[in-house]
Amino acid sequence: MKLFDVYPLFDVEIVRGKGCFTYDTKGTEYLDLYGGHAVIAVGHCHPHYVKCVEEQLEKLPFYSNSVINSLQSKFAERLGKINGYDDYNLFLINSGAEANENALKLASFVTGRKRVLSFGKAFHGRTSLAVEVTDNPKIVAPVNHSGNVTFVPFNDIEAVRKEISKGDVCAVIIEGIQGVGGIRIPDDEFLRQLRAECDANGVVLILDEIQSGYGRTGKFYAHQHAGIRADIVTMAKGIANGFPMGALAINPAYKPAFGMLGTTFGGNHLACAAALAVLDIFESEHLVENAASVGGHLLDELKKLPQIKEVRGRGLMIGLEFDQPVKDLRLRLLHEQHVFTGASGTNVLRLLPPLVLTRELADEFVCRLKKVL
């Protein structure tokens, strides 16, 4: 068999990682400002993470959700102590798209309605509902068009009000910061108005924190910069540092019923061990605070570079917008400077480094970036 060819690949094979560095087959070292797409939170192969996963692997990697798995409740309790949602309930699954899929389904269950509002340039994943609320017609197949989704302009509260007033909306879904859409931050005031509008109309507010959450922006979730709380928060990526896992924090007013949601693999023993190890490291190495301080420093340094049209972001979720496409810049960063970066659309370079990035490594990145500008 051959691979189904859907990824435009860089001509590099990464075989090893340590902290903020990755290494290819020839032993070349790369500074990782991409974190494997915001997934590597505690750094590559953190010794505590490796130890915890190895220990669980030897004990019991998996058993089904038909028996007690106390690692799940332990994780829920630990997460609640750090994420500001101690009073919420947790449902565990395997990926970001699945988290949004379940969040939207749950919103429809609890409201009995079926229309969803999403925003221009939104990205929420590639499965049926998740892709339907994603604003990219190229990745939405005909079968995904249920007709239940309405897109409104980002940051436009009047457009939201107009749609919600029709009375058939079950949920509004919004990213804490739009990632694929170009590192676009919703205005704090807009988020507060959105919260009030959802409250006034019994609409479920879903905050997709899959990319912007888990400490990346210097608060546990990006929407916490606006001082609001969501009804459902979706998470994945950094939650288990590369072990596939996703989660929903659910408003306690939404009552569960047996069979309402379910999964074979979600919340398995190995995933929980990985996620608990991540929380240990978050606490011992103060990674949310580190993302705020190193990210703030990096943003300040990048704003001094005149070649960049606009620097956007919070903490360690940063977009650098240029007047021209960034494709060549990324290739030069990779092959000449040995730095991994991401992109959003054609003109935005996207930085999503591990949250263990130090000030020195942030400066090293700026130094390497200057050489290719």
Ligand X SMILES: Cc1ncc(COP(=O)(O)O)c(C=O)c1O
Q: What residues make contact with ligand X under the rule CB under 6 A?
A: 95-97, 100, 123-125, 175, 179-180, 208, 210-211, 236
CB of 305 to ligand X, least distance (A): 26
Amino acid at 112: G
Count of CB atoms situated within 10 Å of the CB of 332: 16
CB of 179 to ligand X, least distance (A): 5
- 127 vs 148, beta carbon nearer ligand X: 127
CB of 58 to ligand X, least distance (A): 27
- 352 vs 369, beta carbon nearer ligand X: 352
First to last CA, the chain: 42
Cα 147 to Cα 348: distance, rounded to the nearest angstrom: 31
- 108 vs 234, beta carbon nearer ligand X: 234
CB of 119 to ligand X, least distance (A): 11
CB of 243 to ligand X, least distance (A): 12
How far is the CA of 272 from the CAs of 106, 267, 345, in angstroms? 23, 6, 34
- 247 vs 294, beta carbon nearer ligand X: 247
- 42 vs 369, beta carbon nearer ligand X: 42
Contact 249, 86 (CB under 8 A): no
- 172 vs 369, beta carbon nearer ligand X: 172
CB of 276 to ligand X, least distance (A): 20
CB of 181 to ligand X, least distance (A): 9
Which residue, judged by CB position, is nearest to ligand X in the bound state? Answer: 96
CB of 236 to ligand X, least distance (A): 5
Contact 121, 345 (CB under 8 A): no
Cα 356 to Cα 285: distance, rounded to the nearest angstrom: 8
Q: DSSP H helical segments within the chain, as ranges?
A: 35-38, 47-59, 70-83, 96-111, 128-132, 157-164, 188-201, 269-285, 287-303, 327-335, 359-372
- 163 vs 175, beta carbon nearer ligand X: 175
- 39 vs 298, beta carbon nearer ligand X: 39
Cα 121 to Cα 30: distance, rounded to the nearest angstrom: 31
Burial degree of 77 (CB within 10 A; 0-12, 13-18, 19+): exposed
Report which DSSP code applies to 44.
Answer: B
How far is the CA of 46 from the CAs of 18, 26, 50, 148, 164, in angstroms? 7, 22, 6, 43, 46
Nearest 5 degrees, angle CA 76-CA 81-CA 86? Answer: 65
CB of 38 to ligand X, least distance (A): 7
Kind of pairing between the strands at 204-208 and 21-24: unpaired
CB of 213 to ligand X, least distance (A): 9
Contact 234, 96 (CB under 8 A): yes
- 96 vs 295, beta carbon nearer ligand X: 96
- 246 vs 301, beta carbon nearer ligand X: 246
Contact 373, 307 (CB under 8 A): yes
